[in-house]
Amino acid sequence: MKEALFWEAEKDNQVWCHLCGHGCHIKEERVGICGVRKNVGGRLYSLVYGRLVAENVDPIEKKPLFHFQPGSTSYSISTVGCNFKCEHCQNYQISQFPSRRSAEIVGQERTAKEVVAAAEGAGCRSISYTYVEPTIFYEFAYDCGVVAHQRGLKNVFVSNGFMGREVVKPLAQMLDGINVDIKAFTEKFYREVCKARLAPVLENVRLLHELGVWVEITTLVIPGWNDSPEELRDIARFVKGIDASIPWHVTAFHPTHKMMDRPPTPASTLRLAREIGLEEGLRYVYQGNIPGEGGENTFCPQCGTEVISRYGFRVINRKMTGSACGACGAAIAGVWE
């Protein structure tokens, strides 16, 4: 165990965790909603520091990040635990592994230096903290991130965006890029499907962008839940209100975990979502989980040239000069080096 950050002591040896939007008040010998932060003797500890259950070399496009070192690989790590309880979680075996009453922790012991060395050895250009909500293993992610920067690697979060406000600023100091899920645009969805709230996510997206972190947004489009043109338009307008250059990924749902009563997302729905995003003024809107649809490619917003061609998670052609369109010279927003 390692003593956690972002908490304060309360009466009767209870502690108040500020790590995420839940703000758990945790009694002695109990854990928070995430299942991996425990009150021991009136002090809060991370149970997952350095306890990795996943270490993989992934294409950066899998995160998905399309405007962040495209064509590179990212060393992707995770512990168990999550602060959301999404009924459609594709990684529920690890995200929901600990229970709130009995925080059973598994994983291989790793140090920050070992993670960075593994990333370097695999030829990765970044480290991604992913698969579950990485905020719940903040202490280890931050330590890895510091060493990664010292070695010239970048850091990426794949996140639900529900971190506590006081966490965002120090996190932004070690983050280079983040993909945030805006899972829907109603509090009803967040309350019933994720057991969380929408408002803190929207606030953190704004703040992360203001602090200079490269932000991309993903919405998993679920039939009957968040696929109405009105709701998709609301999400697009929100993103445009921050910055029209923020990429928006609209991706296909497949039944999983506790959400087996919904059909897979039709390709026609993703085409419509992409059209809505572009109509609302977003410069980069991508269809995900349906390879070959054509909605995976990056087009210059000035001249329309296809500057990056993709199939699934693979970059198959690139027509850029540095960070600019190879045809007209217009800047393409992103992190290219």
* Domains, the chain, with CATH or none: 2-46 (no CATH), 51-296 (3.20.20.70)
- Contact between 35 and 103 under an 8 Å Cβ cutoff? The reply is yes
Coil, helix or strand for 13?
A: helix
Q: What is the mean pLDDT of residues 198-218?
A: 98
The tokens describing 21, both together, are: 């939007």
Task: List for the chain the helix, strand, coil content (%; round to 5).
Answer: 30, 25, 45
- Report the C-alpha gap between 321 and 334 in whole angstroms: 13
pLDDT at 49 over 70: yes
78 strand-pairing partners: 54
Q: What is the mean pLDDT of residues 90-114?
A: 83
- Report the C-alpha gap between 68 and 127 in whole angstroms: 12
- Report the C-alpha gap between 310 and 54 in whole angstroms: 26
Q: What is the mean pLDDT of residues 254-276?
A: 96
Helix H or strand E encompassing 201: helix 199-210
- Report the C-alpha gap between 159 and 78 in whole angstroms: 12
With pLDDT > 90 as the criterion, what percentage of the chain qualifies?
Answer: 94
Report pLDDT for 67.
98
Report pLDDT for 97.
81
- Report the C-alpha gap between 190 and 332 in whole angstroms: 33
Residue 105: pLDDT band by 50, 70, 90 thresholds? confident
Mean pLDDT score across all residues of the chain: 96
Q: Read out DSSP for 164-184?
A: -HHHHHHHHHH-SEEEEE---
Report pLDDT for 20.
98
pLDDT at 292 over 90: no
Residue 291: pLDDT band by 50, 70, 90 thresholds? confident
Contact residues for 202 (Cβ-Cβ < 8 A; gap 6+): 182, 238
The arrangement of strands across the sheet holding 54-59 comes to: 54-59, 73-78, 126-129, 154-159, 177-181, 214-221, 248-252, 285-288
286 CB-contact burial (10 Å; exposed 0-12 / middle 13-18 / buried 19+): buried
pLDDT at 212 over 80: yes
The arrangement of strands across the sheet holding 25-26 comes to: 7-9, 15-17, 25-26
Task: Write the CA distances from 63 to 44, 224, 238, 259, 282, integer angstroms.
Answer: 31, 25, 21, 22, 20
Residue 99: pLDDT band by 50, 70, 90 thresholds? low
- Contact between 76 and 54 under an 8 Å Cβ cutoff? The reply is yes
Closest residue by Cα to residue 299 from 245, 336, 252, 257 = 245
pLDDT tens digits for 116-133?
999 999 999 999 999 999
pLDDT at 103 over 90: no
pLDDT tens digits for 158-204?
999 999 999 999 999 999 999 999 999 999 999 999 999 999 999 99
Task: Write the CA distances from 188 to 91, 111, 139, 222, 306, integer angstroms.
Answer: 23, 40, 31, 14, 38
Contact residues for 68 (Cβ-Cβ < 8 A; gap 6+): 60, 126, 154, 156, 176, 177, 214, 216, 334, 335
The tokens describing 282, both together, are: 């977003």
pLDDT tens digits for 310-322?
999 999 999 999 9
Q: Pairing relation of β-strands 177-181 and 154-159?
A: parallel
Coil, helix or strand for 32?
A: coil
pLDDT at 295 over 80: yes
